[in-house]
Amino acid sequence: MSLRYMTPASKFKRYLPKDYVELVDYGPFGRKYSEVGVKNMGAYKELVEEHPMCSGCWMAYYIKIIFAALPNPEDTVTIGTAGCGRLAISQAAVPFIYGNYGDQNAMASGITRAFRLRFPDRQKDVITIAGDGGMMDIGFSMTMHAWFRRERFTTIMLDNEVYGNTGGQESGMSVEGAVLKMSPKGKNFGKMPAMQLAITAGCVYVVKMSPTNINKAAKAIRRAIFAARNLGPTFIHVYTSCNIEYSIPTPDVFKDAKEMEKGRFAFEEFMTPEAKELFAQIESKTKREVS
């Protein structure tokens, strides 16, 4: 995508759906992050608004943060796979590619390379967004190999610790002993160490968090995208509870996320010295660029 491809021809503007025209007039395309971004959510036309996710879905909330945090939405492509998340991601006003059963990081490798060849003078951001099943179980080999190859794109894992939209099977990211609707005996091995795997495989910036603070969540997303542009693969491992499969009452979803923040999703951030230097440069250039 680019701005030219979303600006309506003047003669046709009145025929386009209202929602689209508002997106062009009041959306974040081509505007400074300080004017839009997560701090101003609700005050501009956001890239994803309506979605078919469950009431109280923490994943849907985090997906809204992802799209509000994009540094360059008009030149961004997202790639996902089977799972709840893609139902909302595909409704965003950013091109979305649906990878079959976990191949999102393999597809992103090709697309990132193709973008660099096709648009050598422009920065295109590629982000894969998938669940714990798509990223660490079914798509595990493709995720790991993309990192080993040092492919320059951002990987975001929406970890709800369960296969949420197929009835509640255990995933590699469920904790040991987790009893789920389709795992009545309880999981008999522990949660996979996704963050350590990412660091070992060569990611230059890795974050694990429970996104209770939108500014902190957005900062991590933007840092991951900036580092992926220049240095190598980046990974965000984020807790996005499934309140249906884990029976969390809707009013308690935020409380649950806060508790996770004190436990196994305590904020951890890894960056290589090069990434650290890059962030220092970017963040000193303009304080609002990453905030």
Binding interface with other proteins (CB under 8 A): 4-12, 15-18, 20, 52, 87, 90-91, 96
Q: Which is nearer to other proteins, 52 or 110 (CB)?
A: 52
Residue with tokens 């969540």: 217
Q: Which is nearer to other proteins, 15 or 273 (CB)?
A: 15
b/e code 205-219 from CB counts within 10 Å (16+ = b): bbbbbbbbebeebbb
Q: What is the C-alpha to C-alpha distance for residues 152 and 250, in angstroms, rounded to an integer?
A: 37
Q: What is the C-alpha to C-alpha distance for residues 204 and 14, in angstroms, rounded to an integer?
A: 46
Interhelix angle for 214-230 vs 273-285, to 10°?
Answer: 110
Least distance from other proteins to the Cβ atom of residue 287, Å: 35
Q: Which is nearer to other proteins, 12 or 185 (CB)?
A: 12
Least distance from other proteins to the Cβ atom of residue 70, Å: 18
Q: Please name the residue ranges forming H helices in 97-139.
A: 104-118, 132
Least distance from other proteins to the Cβ atom of residue 28, Å: 18
Least distance from other proteins to the Cβ atom of residue 7, Å: 5
Least distance from other proteins to the Cβ atom of residue 154, Å: 22
Least distance from other proteins to the Cβ atom of residue 16, Å: 6
Contacts within 8 Å (CB) and 24+ apart, 118-125: 122/2, 122/75, 123/72, 123/75, 123/229, 124/75, 124/76, 124/77, 125/70, 125/71, 125/72, 125/75, 125/76, 125/77, 125/153, 125/154, 125/225, 125/228, 125/229
In the chain, the largest separation of any two C-alpha atoms, in whole Å, equals 63
Determine contact, residues 76/115, Cβ cutoff 8 Å: no
Least distance from other proteins to the Cβ atom of residue 99, Å: 16
Record the tokens describing residue 142, joined without a space. 């493709």
Q: Which is nearer to other proteins, 87 or 282 (CB)?
A: 87
Q: Which is nearer to other proteins, 89 or 111 (CB)?
A: 89
Q: Which is nearer to other proteins, 5 or 285 (CB)?
A: 5
Residue with tokens 């929602």: 19
Q: Which is nearer to other proteins, 95 or 249 (CB)?
A: 95
